[in-house]
């Protein structure tokens, strides 16, 4: 057993079981609705979580004091914990690691309007705890009475993936028996959309077309995903259903540009290789890749080149679920980790919605049109974010 690894050390050590899933996305709330949504074409419209009512998780007074991103964090965590069943764990050995790219932008924007129109004395005294990025993780910890590590990762669009990697290391190192990891985002405010629009990151057509030759930017979304990670022996001792195992993770930086990926995908390729080495699996063992695939010209090209560098011309089938879900920024990696686990469990790869016209510069096997049958094998899940952050997870079947 390998102990004492820091936040960038290996996941290897104690085996990390995945025993609970929670997800809220524009295609549905909960695992069943989410999975059904991934298997059918997106019908259009804003990619907000439909029918989300914070009253299902909070009282009216409390809901007014919790930003939407933290509300989504709590909801995803609660769904995952309910799915995991009775954990029977020592609260001092239970932790939370949640990610977000932006945090409480909705609350900040609303209180800026209050400040400008009604004066500084009318600004809510709850603004700071509402807008702080760690509010999601903190609220989850408080509600469950968990006294182990409670941490927040803010690495833009890689945050959800990095949070799950950090959560897994708390299990692998022997520090915790149970950790809930994930990410949430709710940045679809007037200011957020204007900012992404003006930096030309969003699709002018409103379509998410990952890896397609016509791609012209991402479709912004909100949502949250959460996984209950558990020490394998703890999970088996309580008779838990184990969806799979988090085998390994990688993290690198491009050190190139604050928003653009490194040309040629070198940083992403290095991250994939680190994740595979951490999981102790060869590239040939990967059966499927859940790509970052944002539908932006540079990101998709760079990721495609990285995949080819690591896996060669005949690499595993690739899908980007962002064709349906859009890009939920700091929540994306967590949402896609849920999709990766379900791909193994349901023995089916969701198609890349919006992909129709191949890009001759991207030579990878894109799953498109219909779902593809899948014989359970390790899945690689990629996330890459502004700032040059790269994060990869390797998720395997429960064996």
Active site members: 157, 292, 327
CA angle 152, 157, 163 (to 5 degrees): 30
**What is the phi/psi pair of residue 91, to 5°?**
-55, -25
What is the three-class DSSP state of 170?
Answer: helix
Q: Give the single-character DSSP code of 280.
A: T
Chain centroid offset of residue 113 CA? 31
Nearest to 36 by CA among 368, 350, 353: 350
State the distance between the two ends of the chain, measured CA to CA, in whole angstroms: 19
Is the CB of residue 319 less than 8 Å from the CB of residue 212? no
In whole angstroms, what is the distance from residue 393 CA to residue 287 CA? 13
Which CA distances in Å does 268 have to 261, 262, 272? 9, 8, 6
In whole angstroms, what is the distance from residue 318 CA to residue 136 CA? 31
In whole angstroms, what is the distance from residue 17 CA to residue 47 CA? 31
**What is the phi/psi pair of residue 136, to 5°?**
-65, -55
Which CA distances in Å does 98 have to 72, 137, 331, 359? 11, 5, 9, 35
Task: Please report where in the chains the tokens 């595993």 appear, as a residue.
Answer: 316
CA angle 17, 23, 25 (to 5 degrees): 150
Is the CB of residue 155 less than 8 Å from the CB of residue 162? yes
Within 8 A by CB and 6+ apart from 171, the residues are 14, 16, 177, 178, 179, 229, 230, 231
Give the CA count within 13 Å in the CB-facing half-sphere of 117: 6
Mode of pairing for the β-strands spanning 288-290 and 379-385: parallel
Is the CB of residue 209 less than 8 Å from the CB of residue 4? no
């Amino acid at each position: 057993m390998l102990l004492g690894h820091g936040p960038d050390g290996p996941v290897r050590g104690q085996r990390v079981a995945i025993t609970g899933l929670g997800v809220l996305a524009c295609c549905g709330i909960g695992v069943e609705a989410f999975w059904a949504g991934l298997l059918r074409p997106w019908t259009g419209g804003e990619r907000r979580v439909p029918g989300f009512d914070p009253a299902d998780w909070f009282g009216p007074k409390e809901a007014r004091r919790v930003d939407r991103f933290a509300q989504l964090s709590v909801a995803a965590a609660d769904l995952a914990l309910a799915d995991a069943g009775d954990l029977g764990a020592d609260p001092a050995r239970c932790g939370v690691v949640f990610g977000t790219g932006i945090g409480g932008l909705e609350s900040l924007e609303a209180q800026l309007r209050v400040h400008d129109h009604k004066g500084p004395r009318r600004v809510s005294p709850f603004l700071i705890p509402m807008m702080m990025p760690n509010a999601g993780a903190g609220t989850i910890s408080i509600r469950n009475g968990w006294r182990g590590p409670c941490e927040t990762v803010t690495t833009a669009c890689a945050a959800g993936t990095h949070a799950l990697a950090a959560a897994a290391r708390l299990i692998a190192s022997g520090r915790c028996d149970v950790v809930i990891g994930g990410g949430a985002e709710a940045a679809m405010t007037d200011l957020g959309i204007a900012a992404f629009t003006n930096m030309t990151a969003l699709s002018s057509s409103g379509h998410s077309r990952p890896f397609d030759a016509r791609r012209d930017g991402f479709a912004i979304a909100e949502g949250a995903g959460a996984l209950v990670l558990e020490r394998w022996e703890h999970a088996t001792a309580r008779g838990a259903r184990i969806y799979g195992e988090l085998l390994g993770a990688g993290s690198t930086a491009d050190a190139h540009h604050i928003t653009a990926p490194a040309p040629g995908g070198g940083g992403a390729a290095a991250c994939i290789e680190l994740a595979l080495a951490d999981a102790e699996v060869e590239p040939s063992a990967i059966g499927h890749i859940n790509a970052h695939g944002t539908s932006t010209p540079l990101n998709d090209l760079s990721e495609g080149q990285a995949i080819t560098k690591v896996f060669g011309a005949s690499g595993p089938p690739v899908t980007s679920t962002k064709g349906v879900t859009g890009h939920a920024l700091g929540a994306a990696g967590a949402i896609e980790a849920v999709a990766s686990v379900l791909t193994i469990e349901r023995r089916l790869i969701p198609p890349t919605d919006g992909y129709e016209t191949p890009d001759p510069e991207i030579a990878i096997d894109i799953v498109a049109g219909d779902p593809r049958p899948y014989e359970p094998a390790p899945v690689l899940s990629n996330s890459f974010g502004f700032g040059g952050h790269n994060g990869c997870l390797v998720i395997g079947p429960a064996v």
